[in-house]
A and B are shown apart, each in its own frame.
Chain A
């Protein structure tokens, strides 16, 4: 089945630094990837839709200048949390939908990245 690789799985950084998280589709092409954030005991909140070769589409209330998304190829999307602060500490999960596959409506998730900002 479709596999999405995400790393780093855990990152601890100092307040004010930037952190980059990578999301790769390993055995399929994904023109669209999705970035979610999950706070403890809360549901997944869609942050943005990452579109290959074009700008990401951000959900209401998500700062696009703080959460930079780049989708430079059909298999790679990156999320950069710029000038991270403690309130950005969360579990960030990427997902991808296989382009044209039989399970085209189904999301495959990466393993997630737990960000802790000190």
Chain B
């Protein structure tokens, strides 16, 4: 199975800050990487697919990039509603695996 490793596990930031979360795949997954936002008691929400494509309806302050097997999610100008847990997921190879999550907390 492809292992997805996110860093950091948690991060504290303030409204207006910019934050970057990294996800590393244990092997090549091409660009088949998605990012999700998950709030307690809610369904996860797709933010980014194909490493850098913004899902319809998602604010443009969310962006994704890739470099080999390393992927990043950047949230610029944090808003109060952005504090949540973020997961990456590889969609390249069965079984489709997730990172362990990054909890974004208010400083």
Pair from one complex: no
Chain B positions near chain A (C-beta within 8 angstroms): none
